């Protein structure tokens, strides 16, 4: 706050599962001039749902916290949590709460969709992903099967960021990045897939237009927000695509994000198609691709092990031969939904610190295994790995990634990468630039550099062998 602007101001919004964040950013320098944040509520129980109206209210609150700076903005972009199903009636009012990405109730419908449309390989080749329960196509199938009256009352289907962009502009617009996570946008044709839509009973007229990269969604027309009327509104994108923009990624640059769940991704110039379903072949927000894999058990699982041992999360000891696969709540990558944690090689001389280190090793092993699939032919071991997310601040996480990857690691100083990526998209629209080039000019990927160290191949081989030998137990 209080910094002098060198260029026009833009607003980047991150509407996540738990909160909305807004940043007012200098489009030339990347300086953050103001910020705001407001929480969301997620209902628990059998499913994970949120009222879309609260996202709109939270957006207003977050923008209001930015003060006078937000009233000077020339462009805005909204990035949002992926995959959520927002159903609207003919008046544009939500029919029911949005079904969120982490709602697993559609699992049975997901399996049926995969089987009915040619199997996993056919989905991966045509659509770009194998539609697990997280993806929007499975959520719509679940709604039709379990709440037919709500499905019948639905006149429009949106993703979370689409909903906010439409309320900002009055225009039904999405982008290729977020659309690629629905399961009804085909990577092979870069358009909505008529056969999938017909199979799930969804009229294409109910879906938003897919804007081209760099195309505006419209201008601000909403009266109740402090944004200037007439300011440009970019098409927005999904949160993972925005984070890639926020880092200014070039093709082949790997990212490992350590949060409650863990993700690995990289920009690619080649369209991905993984028949195992490990890698989701998302499009990015620029015109390339963003293959991504996600694990369920990351920082939360390791923190739970630390709590069970009564140790600080940094109190690790390298050494010994104990192996842990900390799949405390099942796992998505590898796909072991019924798995529980597995410990192998426990001995009298195993220390609590070694057991905690084994939990770190198991979580990082799963992510690095997935990263190998994400990179494919682009795997260059000397390219630094960008380490982001809450876990990136931890010494034990960083050192474990270095030891098991053998790569140099960079921990970017920039925080709030999703909102920064959205701001870069708004700046790119305003200035006529590539948004990834904008963030490279801002220097968002600069940070602490950790040189490569020799890879711990013995630990890697123990982990791989335990996963293979324990497969029967893990599948129970």
Measure the CA–CA gap between 251 and 161, rounded to whole angstroms.
25
What pLDDT is stored for residue 380 in this prediction? 79
- pLDDT over 50 at 93, yes or no: yes
- pLDDT over 90 at 430, yes or no: yes
349 is annotated as an active-site residue: no
Measure the CA–CA gap between 192 and 136, rounded to whole angstroms.
13
Measure the CA–CA gap between 231 and 330, rounded to whole angstroms.
46
What pLDDT is stored for residue 376 in this prediction? 85
C-beta separation of 24 from 87 below 8 A = no
Which entry of 103, 239, 284, 288 is annotated as an active-site residue? Answer: 239
- pLDDT over 60 at 364, yes or no: yes
How many CA atoms are closer than 13 Å to the CA of 374, on its beta-carbon side? 26
Q: Which residues contact 458 (CB under 8 A, 6 or more apart)?
A: none
Determine what percent of the chain is predicted with pLDDT higher than 90: 87
Left if phi > 0, otherwise alpha if psi is -120 to 50, otherwise beta: which for 389? left
Measure the CA–CA gap between 418 and 334, rounded to whole angstroms.
26
The pLDDT tens digits of the residues spanning 14-73 come to 999 999 999 999 999 999 999 999 999 999 777 899 999 999 999 999 999 999 999 999
Provide the whole-model pTM.
0.93
At residue 221, φ and ψ (nearest 5 deg) are -125, -10
CA distances in angstroms from 280 to 129, 140, 187, 395, listed in the order given: 5, 19, 11, 30
C-beta separation of 73 from 227 below 8 A = yes
């Amino acid at each position: 706050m209080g910094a002098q602007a060198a260029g026009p101001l833009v607003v980047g919004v991150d509407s996540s599962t738990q909160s909305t964040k807004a940043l007012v950013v200098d489009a030339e320098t990347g300086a953050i001039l103001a910020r705001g944040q407001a929480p969301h509520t997620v209902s628990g129980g059998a499913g994970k749902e949120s009222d879309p109206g609260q996202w709109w209210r939270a957006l207003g609150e977050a923008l209001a916290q930015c003060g006078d700076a937000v009233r000077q903005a020339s462009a805005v972009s909204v990035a949002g949590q992926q995959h959520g199903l927002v159903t609207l009636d003919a008046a544009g009012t939500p029919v029911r709460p949005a079904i969120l990405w982490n709602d697993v109730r559609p699992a049975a419908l997901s399996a049926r969709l995969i089987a009915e449309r040619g199997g996993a390989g056919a989905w991966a080749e045509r659509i770009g992903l194998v539609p697990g329960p997280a993806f929007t196509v499975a959520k719509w199938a679940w709604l039709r099967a379990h709440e037919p009256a709500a499905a019948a009352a639905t006149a429009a289907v949106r993703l979370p960021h689409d909903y906010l962009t439409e309320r900002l502009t009055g225009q039904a617009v999405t982008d290729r990045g977020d659309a690629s996570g629905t399961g009804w946008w085909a990577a092979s044709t870069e358009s909505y897939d008529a056969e999938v839509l017909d199979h799930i009973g969804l009229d294409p007229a109910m879906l938003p237009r897919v804007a081209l990269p760099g195309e505006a969604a419209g201008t601000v027309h909403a009266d109740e927000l402090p944004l200037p009327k007439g300011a440009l509104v970019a098409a927005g994108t999904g949160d993972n695509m925005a984070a890639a923009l926020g880092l200014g990624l070039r093709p082949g640059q790997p990212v490992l994000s350590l949060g409650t769940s863990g993700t690995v991704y990289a920009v690619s110039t080649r369209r991905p198609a993984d028949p195992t379903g490990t890698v989701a072949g998302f499009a990015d927000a620029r015109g390339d691709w963003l293959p991504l894999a996600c694990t369920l058990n990351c920082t939360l699982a390791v923190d739970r092990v630390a709590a069970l041992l009564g140790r600080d999360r940094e109190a690790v000891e390298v050494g010994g031969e104990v192996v842990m696969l900390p799949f405390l709540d099942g796992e998505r990558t590898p796909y072991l939904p019924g798995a529980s944690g597995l410990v192998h090689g426990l001995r009298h001389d195993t220390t609590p610190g070694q057991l905690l280190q084994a939990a770190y090793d198991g979580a990082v092993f799963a992510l690095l295994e997935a990263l190998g699939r994400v990179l494919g032919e682009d795997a260059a071991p000397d390219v630094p790995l960008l380490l982001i997310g809450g876990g990136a601040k931890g010494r034990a996480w960083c050192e474990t990634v270095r030891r098991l990857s053998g790569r140099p690691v960079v921990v970017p100083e920039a925080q709030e990468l999703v909102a920064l990526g959205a701001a870069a998209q708004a700046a790119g629209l305003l200035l006529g630039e590539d948004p990834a080039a904008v963030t490279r000019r801002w220097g968002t990927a600069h940070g602490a550099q950790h040189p490569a160290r020799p890879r711990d191949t013995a630990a890697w081989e123990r982990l791989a062998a335990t996963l293979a030998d324990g497969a029967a137990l893990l599948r129970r």
